[in-house]
Amino acid sequence: MTFGYSELVLLCIAGMWVTALVNVLCFRSLSDIRGGESDSLVSILLPARNEERTLDSVLQSLTRQEYQRIEILVLDDGSEDSTGLIAERWAETDPRIQLVRGRPLPPGWVGKSHACSQLAERARGEYLLFVDADTVHSTQSVSAAMAELKRTGAGLLTVIPRQTMETFWENTLLPLLHFSTFCFLPMPLVSWSKHPRLAMANGQFMLFRRDAYERIGGHAAVRSAMVEDVWLSRLVKANGYGLAIRDGGNVVSARMYRSLKEIWNGFSKNLFAGFSYSLLLIAAVITFNVCTSIIPFFLFAAAFVPGGGTDWVNGQVMLQVGLILMIRVALAVRFKLDLWPVLLHPLAMLMFVGIALNSVRWVLFGGGAQWKGRQYDFRKRAVIQE
């Protein structure tokens, strides 16, 4: 018996299974701390562009924090809907909330980084908490995050919120975020290792010590990055600060997208950028996922057709499929996701391949991606139309 393609695929999947298992067992949750000390001012910084759908919910949750010393800065980033009016209404009724009118987006900047940079300029706090408008926070969100940041001594604490998913495509595609993260990034090394490559952050919730944020250059240092959160986390490590990542599902939830179109465009915006616009890297990722998450399921189905393969090959394919499904079930249980989308894993991966190809198409042939009314030319790292 020789070591061939099927054995190599099985070995890769086994490696993913081991990594996911270690992560599921070791990934720490953010403690649900009540009545924590409020001795330091925390600036909660909320960039908002065309967020009328969610802004009320996030501001309502932030104003109910048990942590007392907070200020909430909302930046209206040239919204084309009622975002500014909603933020203005909140600012008039709660003295802790300030509305910041965003400046025009300059060349070379991505909108979110520019908005966050302006917010940091206005913030007075010793700690800077960047949150997205699609998040909802429990009353202990800030207390728990502050306690954990101080306990670890990290320069940046980031959390993975509980993902709220309602539609078919949300449930089918969004669990791939957990799958791609926990199968390939050993979470214990994110905190233990000082290597910048072993880093990640979630822009939906990032709590910085102000000195760390300023030392790395803030969002200005990643002004042209579409996945600014990951690059910020690498800069944190590169400058000698600690990085802590926790499961924040007990204190923060988020609903990222609500339709297939939103998911398709949102992922297309980030995928190619996440691999530094390298055709070689994204081709390798597509090939790897086709071989480990799509072909085994087709071969598994073919195994039930007469003459569909030898018993040995069929046995390996069944093991490959079984391990992938075990990973998905373990992640679903750990992060309280529905179980039925596990069976749609090959469909989700087929869609992932389509999104990845579309992400490349946007960059190379489409003149850049469109997001929240802006068109970005990734090759120039700039806004070309607003």
For the chain, the structural domain boundaries read: 5-23+261-363, 31-161+202-258
- Cβ neighbour number for residue 271 with a 10 Å cutoff: 23
CA distance 292 to 325: 12
Helix and strand numbers (H, E) in the chain are 15, 13
Q: Residue 363 carries which side chain, given as an amino acid letter?
A: V
The answer to whether the beta carbons of residues 192 and 365 sit under 8 Å apart is no
**C-alpha dist (Å) from residue 372 to 5, 78, 103, 369:** 43, 10, 16, 10
pTM for this predicted structure:
0.92
- DSSP helix/strand/coil, 385: strand
User: What Rg value do the Cα atoms of the chain yield, rounded?
Assistant: 22
The answer to whether the beta carbons of residues 294 and 349 sit under 8 Å apart is yes
CA distance 1 to 141: 56
Task: Supply the CATH classification number for the domain 31-161+202-258.
Answer: 3.90.550.10
pLDDT digit string (tens) for the chain, length 386 residues: 356 888 999 999 999 999 999 999 999 998 765 555 678 999 999 999 999 999 999 999 999 999 999 999 999 999 999 999 999 999 999 999 999 999 999 988 999 999 999 999 999 999 999 999 999 999 999 999 999 999 999 999 999 999 999 999 999 999 999 999 999 999 999 988 989 999 999 999 999 999 999 999 999 999 988 899 999 999 999 999 999 999 999 999 999 999 999 999 999 998 998 898 899 999 999 999 999 999 999 998 887 776 655 555 678 899 999 999 999 999 999 999 999 999 999 999 999 999 999 999 998 887 777 777 777 775 554 433 33
